[in-house]
Structures are given as C-alpha cells and as structure tokens.
Amino acid sequence: MKEFAARGNNIRTQAKALVFEFMQSSDLCQHGREGMRLSPIFRACGFDWGEYKKATSSNQQYWVVALMRELEAEGKVERVTESGPWRLR
C-alpha cells in the first residue's frame, strides 16, 4: 500500500509543478497583475475530465484548491482577494 501512497504523492508534486509553471507563463498571473481565477487554471492544466453525473467540471476542481493552498503555504502564489483570482507572489 505504501507504493500507491508514494505514487499519489508523486502525482500531487507533478500537478503542483504544472500549475506553477503555467502561472509563470501567464501574463495575468504575474506579481502585481490581476491574477486568474481557479477554473481557467484548472482547465488550462488539463485537469478537467468533462461533465459527469455528480462529478461536474465545477466539482472536479475542488482538489485544485488544496494544491493552490499548498503553493500559497510555500510562498509561491497569493490570492488577490478572499474569493478572487490567484497570482504569483
């Protein structure tokens, strides 16, 4: 079972790196700019599986909130307002 946890951790690490790289390449996400909302980041990074019963695209993006909070805790990103867009710190 530890193998699966390790593989999952690797996926999370890669997902964080992908989002951070995407944000670095986006003009909107640069420090001091307006930032980008979570759903466009989620979709641009290819995390959207499409619409499914009880698993809509909107519901699927909730796990990316935790990813963004991890990047925030690492001092890499910030949320512009309490419910607003994200940008690089």
The residue ranges of every structural domain in the chain are: 2-79
pLDDT in tens, 30-89: 999 999 999 999 999 999 999 999 999 888 988 899 999 999 999 999 999 998 899 999
Residue-wise DSSP of the chain:
-HHHHHHHHHHHHHHHHHHHHHHHH-STTSTTS--B-HHHHHHHTT-----BTTB-HHHHTHHHHHHHHHHHHTTSEEESSTTS-EEE-
pTM: 0.91
**Long-range contact pairs involving 3-10 (C-beta distance under 8 Å, separation at least 24):** none
